[in-house]
Structure 1
Amino acid sequence: MFTGIITDLGTVESLEPTPGGARLVVTGRLPHDVAVGDSIAVDGVCVTVTSLAEASDAVMRTFTADLMPPTLGRTTLGGRSGGDRVNLEPALSAGGRFGGHVVAGHVDAVGTVVGRTAGDLADQLTVALPAQLARYVVPQGSIAVDGVSLTVAELHDNADDAGGCFVTIGLIPATLEATTLGQRTPPDRVNLEVDLLAKQVERLLAVQEVARA
């Protein structure tokens, strides 16, 4: 489990195809107790560390993760290349500080940045969400964008037949500096994970409805 609080900006060393998908190699600052087999969120995507080595800087470490076809098809990681910056968050340890919201690292869909406005106190980023996610998003609710826990400042339903919605989020200077969202502009694609609790409630209500039928 993650919280959407990014701990470091990592750098993609390479993304190479493999017979079963692709192999991603990333360098970044990781806690000293991270080990092979642990989970790390890369741009909001939960991956498993398959190898781990010290990088040139004693603080930096290089890790490898294998990406399966569903991950490549559902997220933006398949489009990464050497030199790209990515948001990193190790899995939350027992007793760790919970600063964001519940983030599973299971990306629901890819959205598109459709607007960006600079402000005195914060930038405003507007993202188009696909129709299947619109019902899980509410004003002042939580959403993870490229793994970053954010609050929905404005929500506008799409008026055309495609459905979906537009979400506007505020990006304070600390978020702009500590995450890749400082560089996101139209028409960039971003990984989206809606509130897990909303999906659980929907499923529970659906099961109850079937039981009553």
Structure 2
Amino acid sequence: MSRYSVNIRELIPSIIQRLQKLLSKKNPEYKVTYADKEYDLLKYYEDLTSFYNVEINKLTKPQSTTRTINGRTIKGVECKFCLYINNNLIVERLFYVDNYNPSVRFSNDIVSTVNEIVEDIKQNIKTSDINNIWDDFDIINCYGFPHINNVRELGREQREIYLKNINDEEFVKSMRIQIRKKYFTDQQEEEISLGN
């Protein structure tokens, strides 16, 4: 989704709070209506496990643990929030849920909460990507890169250097010469010189 970096640090505390609240919810909603028919997702799961005689019961509450982190004692069921984009791990955080309710996993509430979290992350990435697009535009116009892909291939540090020095005429002139030598043939160089 985002070319350069995905920074959702400011969202993580609220995401974890929402997940903790959700996973400890006492009376989640299990019923869903589809094609004018009502289904109870929890009952459906229970019926399937009973019918197929499944031994693994996802309704059993996992063991609660107690940890001391930064001088604070935290107890609850250990859970993990992970964000992957294109099979790349972006964020991974452990958190603990006191009064964990395993049946929440079969509720409508989990779907709506996860959808809200996904929308928040997408909006954050979209905002970040818009900034990157304008930075790309500035770098291309200032330094004379021949193609957007040349800018996208730059490392983060190099991009920062270009953006930081965009008003330094000597730096810009020096970099424009280097970029022309790197990306343009002699004939293209003549055409550019005649055009300037």
TM-score by length of 2: 0.29
Q: Which one has the bigger strand percentage?
A: 1
- Higher Cα Rg, which structure: 2
Q: Which one has the bigger helix percentage?
A: 2
TM-score by length of 1: 0.27
